[in-house]
Structure 1
Amino acid sequence: MKKKIIFIINPISGGLNKTFIPVLIDKYLDFQLFDAQIIYTAYSNHATLLAQEAIDNDFDIIVAVGGDGTINEVASVLESSGKTMAIIPCGSGNGLARTLGISLDNAKAITRINQLKTLKIDVGLLNNRKFVNMAGMGFDAHISAHFADSEKRGFIGYVKSTLKEIKSYKAQNYSINVNGGQIKRKAFMLSLANSSQYGNNAHISPTASVQDGLIDICIIKPFPLFIFPSLVIRMFTQTSAGSKYVEIIKAKKFIINRESEGPVHVDGEPVNMGKQLSFSVKHLALVLIV
């Protein structure tokens, strides 16, 4: 019996037009294995609604076609559902897809679905908001909020936002209850890594694993501005943990208290939250085709 598969396409992710995706699906998907349907998102969080409708309509495989934000919307519904998810990466950074070795060549990613090879991965919880790749607060959340309002999407737009904002951003004080103790740190940003990278092969926590049941708390301490290029190089060479400005703690659950409420990011998408933030992990809760 053929499996029911639905492709949920975000038409604007990564600043790329997606009109070519149905053509590739028609060419590379094995229709002897699948009955396929294609649907497009029309607004923020629409993919969440469409994924739930797909579950209700008994689709076997739900495919997120977009970036990490679209993947988050779909994964948040599919985790622990018994359904299988697949990814056609079409975002700015494609952090989770790169981590899992899913091809950025859309034709190859579609062809890979035909093999039905699956992997279970962890899902993080931030105040009950789910994330599968990365969450965080501080400068990266500030940039995510700034970037979300920008008309220029894609990697170049993200770089421009970063360079514009980094000179004026001020580090904040954080108190972290973790592994039976409390630590206090002043931090430029706190990144919570389920996978090792933000995207574009920029690895903030090279030893992070999507299957270990742990989140890596990556504390980026205040640094002189002239150090910033070397920190970037460390991320792209997977040596960030060797910097004296980076501290990494692994934990199953923890609580962060910060000076003030404000933006956090959940798989790159900004969300306003309060001063206290609780984190935990749902171990191997999401089934993905890889």
Structure 2
Amino acid sequence: MTSPTAPRRALLVANPGSRRGSAALQPVEAAFTAAGVTLLPVESSPRETLTARLVAQAGEADLILAVGGDGTVNSVAAAAYRTGLPVGLIPAGTANDLARTLGLPLDPAAAAQVILAGRRTPIDLGEVNGTFFFNVASLGLSVKLADKLSSTSKKRWGRLGYLWALLRALAEARPFSAAITGEDGHTIVVKTLQIAVGNGRHYGGGMVVEQGAEINDGQLDLYSLEFKAVWKLLTIAGSFPTGRHGLSPEVRTLRGRQFKIATRRPRPINMDGELLGATPAVVTVHPAALRMIVP
């Protein structure tokens, strides 16, 4: 943990389309104005050019401020990594899993006060084929879920929208084959419903990757759901919020700093709730890669 340093100028990246994005901006702008902090808005769309915009303006600020959900803060990760600027997060999405991991208050006004206090801590970043993630990178069931979960349903229904989308995804889920190679070079061939590799602790609206997972432990936590029947997932559903699903004999768990995942045909990868890559994938961890402002 580094000494608190109050920000003076912040690059603002906001997602007005997030569930609480527009409403969250009002108390944040008021708090920052009262504290004498200048906000410099940066256009967040299209995502492909956001990193370049942030890097170009990095010399004008001492903080990147993300207002939105996990997808919004994911979009600033590359720029923060390249520039060394700390990141402040105002949770305004549906799941807010990074905020949960960091212990940030979910109320925007309270989160703004945390950022103004300026207490920074280093955290790890995960990477898949050159794209960063904070929480989890996964393929299989989670991709089906992302397909079913529209931005409209997230904004309108919140957590209920997640549940409905999950039920629809489960109805269509089918096992697939994959080869997982650890950093020791050993390869395991599995038949699985989902492979998830966690850098942080929380994902999917409050579920836990693994009961001992932390976002600053320099490790990745992988699990593979190797159930022959989809309905059997219901028998361990209650263990996901505590990260104890790995105790099931049909859930494979691995820990390491790098994994390679190959599938028979390219499969899309969900990173922090966004479809941002595909197999074959090399998943690595960058310990203490950037600084986040935390309580």
Deviates more, 1:73-82 or 1:189-198: 73-82
Aligned to 2:16: 11
Summarize the Cα distance change of 1:106–1:40 in structure 2 as closer, same or farther, 3 Å threshold. Answer: farther
2:98 partner SS: helix
Checking the alignment, whether the CA contact within 8 Å between 1:2 and 1:32 is kept in structure 2 is: no
Aligned to 2:196: 191
Please give the per-residue CA displacement for 1:188-216, whole angstroms capped at 9, x wherever unaligned. Answer: 10001011221432113221121122111
Aligned to 1:89: 91
Please give the per-residue CA displacement for 1:116-173, whole angstroms capped at 9, x wherever unaligned. Answer: 100111111111111111111111122223325x631232222212111212211111
Aligned to 1:35: 38
Task: Map residues 131-150 of structure 1 onto 2, 5 A cutoff.
Answer: 131-148=133-150
Q: CA deviation at 1:235?
A: 1.0
Aligned to 1:205: 210
**Which of 17, 20, 23 is 2:23 aligned to?**
20
Checking the alignment, whether the CA contact within 8 Å between 1:10 and 1:40 is kept in structure 2 is: no
Matching of residue 268 in structure 1 with residue 293 in structure 2: no
Aligned to 1:288: 292
Structure 1 residue ranges without an equivalent (≥5): none
Task: Map residues 146-165 of structure 1 onto 2, 5 A cutoff.
Answer: 146-148=148-150, 151-153=152-154, 154-165=158-169
2:101 partner SS: helix
Summarize the Cα distance change of 1:194–1:93 in structure 2 as closer, same or farther, 3 Å threshold. Answer: same
Aligned to 2:254: 249
Q: CA–CA distance in 1 between the matches of 2:160 and 2:63?
A: 33
Matching of residue 176 in structure 1 with residue 177 in structure 2: no
Task: Map residues 225-244 of structure 1 onto 2, 5 A cutoff.
Answer: 225-244=230-249
Summarize the Cα distance change of 1:45–1:151 in structure 2 as closer, same or farther, 3 Å threshold. Answer: farther
**Which of 127, 130, 145 is 1:128 aligned to?**
130
Q: CA deviation at 1:239?
A: 2.1
Size of the aligned set, in residue pairs, is 285
Checking the alignment, whether the CA contact within 8 Å between 2:126 and 2:199 is kept in structure 1 is: yes
Q: CA–CA distance in 2 between the matches of 1:156 and 1:46?
A: 33
Q: CA deviation at 1:71?
A: 0.6
Checking the alignment, whether the CA contact within 8 Å between 1:121 and 1:283 is kept in structure 2 is: yes
1:210 partner SS: coil
Please give the per-residue CA displacement for 1:14-60, whole angstroms capped at 9, x wherever unaligned. Answer: x33x33334312443374462233455345456545433431x4211
Counterpart amino acid of residue 117 in structure 1: R
**Which of 215, 220, 223 is 1:215 aligned to?**
220
Checking the alignment, whether the CA contact within 8 Å between 1:140 and 1:265 is kept in structure 2 is: yes
Checking the alignment, whether the CA contact within 8 Å between 1:188 and 1:220 is kept in structure 2 is: yes
TM-score (norm 2): 0.88
2:195 partner SS: strand
Summarize the Cα distance change of 1:20–1:142 in structure 2 as closer, same or farther, 3 Å threshold. Answer: closer
Alpha-carbon RMSD across the aligned residues, in angstroms, is: 2.2
Aligned to 2:60: 58
Summarize the Cα distance change of 1:2–1:177 in structure 2 as closer, same or farther, 3 Å threshold. Answer: closer
Counterpart amino acid of residue 232 in structure 1: A
Structure 2 residue ranges without an equivalent (≥5): 1-5
Checking the alignment, whether the CA contact within 8 Å between 2:125 and 2:289 is kept in structure 1 is: yes
Q: CA–CA distance in 2 between the matches of 1:173 and 1:204?
A: 21
Counterpart amino acid of residue 281 in structure 1: V
Q: CA–CA distance in 2 between the matches of 1:282 and 1:31?
A: 36
Counterpart amino acid of residue 282 in structure 1: H
1:286 partner SS: strand
1:91 partner SS: coil
Counterpart amino acid of residue 262 in structure 2: N
Q: CA–CA distance in 2 between the matches of 1:60 and 1:81?
A: 10
